[in-house]
Copies of this chain bind each other. A is one copy, B any other.
């Protein structure tokens, strides 16, 4: 009798964003004329830039000719893209990363969900609260979570509270964690660790033999000088951290899928006998066995992001989104609300009026103002009382949303 992986039964009922999408779809169906302003899911709206599309058209043409057709590529990504990443992301920051430390993939969501596979099933896991749900859910599925208690916490997971009181920058885990997930600039709070803060995390991990799984998907949005674009700007970070970066938010690749993960060769964990094992080797084995590389066309598109013209275009788009972030932050404050984030991240963490549950607030915003955001409690118990807005809409729609909110608050 075939049995299921019963850890799946421990999962909260539905994946957050899928649930919200369903709600919007139902509302849209019932109100076909409603012009919904979507500030919920973290999806980009600006079309791909000229450099990127031109690169894709060229690559598509190459696939039509015998002499330039490409079948299976390296599971780890083509050299042309690996080298572009090294130059564009690391050499430019004076960081030395070798080509075989880079693993090109079809998305950070996939990598960050899959990375736990290479660690022991009994590893202890620390996550922030609130948190991007994939870190938690992938560990629930693997059997590392224990059960959900009535306060909304899984008994074996170590939660690091991210609250107004600590400026949404949590303290170190209350007990030893083998794996620590950190996302900076943060989804959902928009908070970004300063260089000094990140350094203290690296030192903590070194001292405690923890591994930091560093989600850096939003690094292109960093505006402040003292915030690192890569964890490897910190000395010795290569001994403790895996870094995840994505083209999704950097260059609008959510629909064409490309990301990369850095697993430094100096990064080790231990086997049952206490021997050091290089994580780079394990991740390479995982990827070559369970993954078959990213579309050649997408990889050429990603390469174009790092061309001179591509970088210029990408910066313009990010400037546009960050202008929206400023409009939201300013708009909410003018309407009398507390709001955070939005300075080094496209996310604004809105403190909603006391006494309203964040999932109820979703309904209120949708039904009264046709604005969609993401309820904070969907990211964890400490997210209750907050609401995430994203800067990915058009300036016009973003302004319209802020005007609606201002008007409602003034009445």
Contact = CB atoms under 8 A, between A and B. Distances in A.
A290 B137 CA distance: 9
B2 A296 contact: no
Given A109-B292, A292-B110, A45 B71 contact: yes
Among A72, A255, A296: residue with most chain B CB under 10 A = A255
B1 A178 contact: yes
Given A5-B120, A8-B118, A295 B138 contact: no
**Copies per assembly:** 2
Interface string A252-294: 1011110000000000011110000101001001101111111
- Size class of A's contact patch? 35 or more
A247 B21 CA distance: 29
Contact of A2 (B45, B72, B75, B179): B179
A225 to B, nearest CB: 30
A182 interface: no
Contact of A48 (B69, B122, B178): B69
Interface stretch (A53-61, A81-89, A321-329): A53-61
Interface string A114-143: 100111111100000000011001100101
Contacts of A47: 63-66, 68-69
Contacts of A121: 5, 143
A401 interface: no
Contacts of A6: 120, 271-272
A146 B271 CA distance: 17
Contact of A178 (B2, B8, B297): B2
B56 A3 contact: no
Nearest to A8: B282
A91 interface: no
A20 interface: no
A66 to B, nearest CB: 5
A74 B166 CA distance: 36
Contact of A73 (B56, B68, B73, B255): B255
Contact of A4 (B5, B18, B279): B279
Contacts of A288: 15, 18
Given A4-B269, A270-B3, A15 B289 contact: yes
B2 A269 contact: yes
Nearest to A394: B66
A143 B118 CA distance: 12
A282 B4 CA distance: 9
A113 interface: yes
Interface in A7-49: 8-9, 11, 15, 18, 41, 43-48
Among A43, A68, A114, A254: residue with most chain B CB under 10 A = A254
A161 interface: no
9 contacts: A2-B120, A4-B120, A5-B119, A9-B277, A47-B63, A50-B64, A53-B60, A71-B255, A257-B293
Given A3-B123, A47-B64, A47-B69, 19 more contacts: A1-B209, A1-B269, A2-B120, A3-B271, A4-B119, A4-B269, A6-B120, A43-B71, A47-B63, A48-B69, A57-B57, A69-B252, A71-B252, A113-B290, A114-B290, A134-B290, A255-B296, A256-B297, A295-B295
5 cross-chain pairs, A with B, having the tightest CB-CB distances, nearest first: A3-B120, A113-B290, A47-B69, A43-B71, A71-B254
